[in-house]
A and B are shown apart, each in its own frame.
Chain A
Amino acid sequence: AQKITQTQPGMFVQEKEAVTLDCTYDTSDQSYGLFWYKQPSSGEMIFLIYQGSYDEQNATEGRYSLNFQKARKSANLVISASQLGDSAMYFCAMSGIIQGAQKLVFGQGTRLTINP
């Protein structure tokens, strides 16, 4: 079975600092995907970044980068130059193929608070 672990229930960071949100995963699949989503207080899940298990380079999307360490089974999200609008819940998720269909498994989330 696939499992995602986010060990940081909450994090507090000063504006403009970089922040790393931890995510470790467990799977026996060879092919899988790792995702990060942002959930602001409005509730909508906003897709941030994706990393495929066979991708050799770490994914980047603007201020977001994914630090993928396959041997350690970790997929940490790095946000550079944090902004007040980055305050939200962040979820790490893993995608795998189960019975011919894609399924996403989510971690418990990390609440990030950016202080001015």
Chain B
Amino acid sequence: DGGITQSPKYLFRKEGQNVTLSCEQNLNHDAMYWYRQDPGQGLRLIYYSQIVNDFQKGDIAEGYSVSREKKESFPLTVTSAQKNPTAFYLCASSISGLGVDTQYFGPGTRLTVL
């Protein structure tokens, strides 16, 4: 079955640690996205990538980093510079990212800073 997988489902981090969230898709989509969701809120865009080896900052990129070495994978690193990282993180993909394409989402990772 085609889809988007995210791991882990739950992640606990101590303050000052970097953590990496995994996102993999087998939909053969060119574009991938990372969003952050805080309780009772909508989604906010962190980073996006339209093609391998290229990515762009979204609206709240500070304290995060990404890489896109393979079409299927778009990992997100939450660095110690992110002041309030406790949130729900959602990865998405779309066919091209160049037009009005539907974005499909993974199941999410819930990050808690202890």
Chain A interfacial positions (CB closer than 8 Å to B) = 4, 31-33, 35, 37, 42-47, 50, 52, 91, 93, 95-97, 99-104, 106-109
Contacts and interface: CB of A to CB of B under 8 A. Distances in A.
How many chain B residues sit at the interface, stated as a range, is: 20 to 34
Contacts of A96: 100
B101 A102 contact: yes
A50 B102 contact: yes
Nearest to A96: B100
Given A42-B107, A43-B88, A95 B42 contact: no
Contact of A47 (B100, B104, B107): B104
Contacts of B63: none
Interface of B: 31, 33, 40-45, 48, 50, 56, 58, 88, 90, 92, 94, 96-108, 110
Nearest to A102: B97
Nearest to A107: B42
B105 A103 contact: no
17 contacts: A37-B105, A43-B107, A43-B108, A44-B108, A45-B92, A45-B108, A47-B103, A95-B103, A102-B98, A102-B100, A103-B48, A103-B58, A104-B43, A106-B43, A108-B41, A109-B40, A109-B42
A33 B42 contact: no
A32 B100 CA distance: 7
A101 B110 contact: no
A99 B56 CA distance: 10
B5 to A, nearest CB: 11
Nearest to B92: A45
B42 A106 contact: yes
Given A102-B94, A102-B96, A106-B42, 9 more contacts: A33-B100, A44-B105, A44-B107, A91-B42, A101-B56, A103-B58, A104-B45, A109-B40, A109-B41
Contacts of A4: 42
Given A35-B102, A47-B102, A50-B102, A91 B43 contact: yes
A103 B45 contact: yes
